[in-house]
Structure 1
C-alpha cells in the first residue's frame, strides 16, 4: 500500500502538461527608432517588406544576409514590437507567368 502512495505523486509529475520553449518567450516592444537601431546595428538586418495591418499598424519583415528574419509590428504611437523570428529567409521576386 505504501508503494502505491509513492507511485501516485510520480504519476502526477509525469502526467503534468509541459509547455514548449519559444525562441521569443515574450513579445519585445520598444520605441521604434531604438528597435530599428538594434535590428540594423546588432543583428545586421534591413527592412525587406512592409504592409499595412490597419490604419494604425504596419507589419515589417527585417532580414539579415545570414537569412535570419524578424517580423515587427509598428504602431502609430511610436512603439514597435517583435512578434516572430526565424531563419532561412528567402526573398521572392514578382515572377509573372509568360504563357501565351
Structure 2
C-alpha cells in the first residue's frame, strides 16, 4: 500500500513540475467543455478519474474499453491539455478508492 501511494505521489509531483512546460510547448489543448467529447469521438475514451492538485490544476484520466488512456490537465479557467496518453490501461483493484487489503 505504501509503495502504491509513493508511486502515486511521485507521479503527481512529476506532473506538477512539467505542467508549466506543457502549456508553454504547444500541447494539444481544447476547451475544458470540448475535451471529453473529442476523446469520446476520436478514441472512444470516457472519464475514469479526476484529481485536484494543490496548485488548483485539474487532472482527468480518460480510458477506453480497448485499454487506451489519456491524461489531461486544466488550469483554472483555462483549456484542457493532453499531458500523457498510452495503451494497456488496467486497474490495480476494483474495491473502491482504497483497496481493503494491500496490493
The correspondence for 1:96, drawn from 80, 96, 100, is: 100
- Cα-Cα RMSD: 2.1
Tell me which protein shows more helix as a share of its residues. 2
- Paired with 1:42 and 1:89, the residues of 2 have a C-alpha distance of 17
Q: How much does 1:97 deviate? A: 2.2
Contact 2:36 2:47 survives alignment (8 Å): no
Q: How much does 1:26 deviate? A: 5.5
What is the number of residues matched between the two proteins?
Answer: 74
TM-score of the superposition, structure 1-length normalised? 0.64
- Paired with 2:88 and 2:26, the residues of 1 have a C-alpha distance of 22
Aligned to 2:53: 53
Cα distance per residue 1:5-49 (max 9 Å; x no partner): xxxxxxxxxxxxxxxxxxxx9621111112111011221111111
Structure 2 gap ranges (5+): 1-24
Tell me which protein shows more strand as a share of its residues. 1
* Higher CA-based Rg: 1
TM-score of the superposition, structure 2-length normalised? 0.63
Q: Runs ≥4 in structure 1, deviation > 6 angstroms?
A: none
Structure 1 gap ranges (5+): 1-24
